């Protein structure tokens, strides 16, 4: 009986911590926060993942775990509102893609993105590196930091040149059978350009 309660305590503590940390945590960070041994954390994270209570994202070499309960967001309601807003903006302001890239840059300035240590460390690794391709491929690692509604988003590289990269996005709520919500990705382009400039002091041009 005592062993069962102890096991439940591990699961409850880890799950509660992840519910209160919307940007997610690595195994080491969970261990540091709870005081549990890393092997113990790994064991119970795997159990929680198997019961579909938590999920993970791969950030370069790091695995970041987060709760699926989304304690701070009513996900479906917020996502539905964003879709409706994007659709209305596209109707009211047709062919204003460049303007919405500027909107993205302004969003980056004022919105506190839930970027945890795993993302910050990625930027630190690439500062001072002159490899353009490495910089361009970095997008795949940090994109989830601000597109935090779409856990199952599939991002793959379809073309890579010295100064150009082409990504394919799949399983996006904003890329359905029509382009009703396409301004989401123009806003995202502005955010991406701003992130490169802000974190790596690099000017990039992002297009849809």
Q: What pLDDT is recorded for position 128?
A: 79
Angle (CA) 118 155 103, round 5°: 80
Confidence class of residue 72 from pLDDT cuts 50, 70 and 90? low
* Separation between Cα atoms, residue 134 and residue 128, nearest integer Å: 12
Place of tokens 């990269």: 165
* Separation between Cα atoms, residue 26 and residue 41, nearest integer Å: 10
pLDDT for residue 39 is more than 90? yes
CATH level 2 (architecture), domain 2-67: Orthogonal Bundle (1.10)
Domain ranges of the chain: 2-67, 75-200
pTM strictly above 0.85: no
pLDDT for residue 8 is more than 90? no
Give the residues across from 169 on adjacent strands: 155
Q: Are 61 and 67 in contact (CB under 8 A)?
A: no
Confidence class of residue 1 from pLDDT cuts 50, 70 and 90? very low
pLDDT for residue 58 is more than 90? no
Confidence class of residue 4 from pLDDT cuts 50, 70 and 90? low
């Amino acid at each position: 009986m005592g062993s069962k309660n102890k096991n439940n305590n591990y699961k409850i503590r880890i799950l509660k911590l992840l519910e209160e940390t919307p940007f997610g945590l690595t195994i080491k960070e969970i261990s540091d926060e709870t005081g549990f041994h890393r092997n113990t954390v790994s064991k119970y994270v795997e159990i929680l993942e198997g019961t579909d209570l938590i999920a993970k994202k791969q950030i370069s070499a790091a695995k970041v775990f987060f709760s699926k309960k989304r304690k701070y967001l009513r996900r479906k309601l917020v996502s539905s509102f964003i879709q409706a807003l994007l659709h209305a903006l596209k109707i009211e302001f047709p062919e204003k893609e460049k303007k919405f890239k500027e909107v993205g840059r302004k969003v980056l300035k004022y919105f506190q993105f839930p970027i945890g240590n795993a993302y910050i460390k990625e930027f630190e690794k690439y500062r001072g590196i002159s490899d353009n391709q490495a910089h361009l491929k970095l997008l795949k690692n940090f994109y989830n930091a601000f597109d935090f509604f779409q856990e199952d988003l599939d991002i793959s590289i379809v073309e890579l040149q010295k100064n150009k990269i082409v990504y394919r996005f799949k399983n996006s709520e904003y890329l359905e059978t029509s382009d009703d919500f396409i301004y989401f990705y123009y806003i995202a382009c502005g955010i991406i350009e701003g992130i490169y400039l802000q974190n790596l002091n690099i000017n990039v041009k992002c297009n849809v």
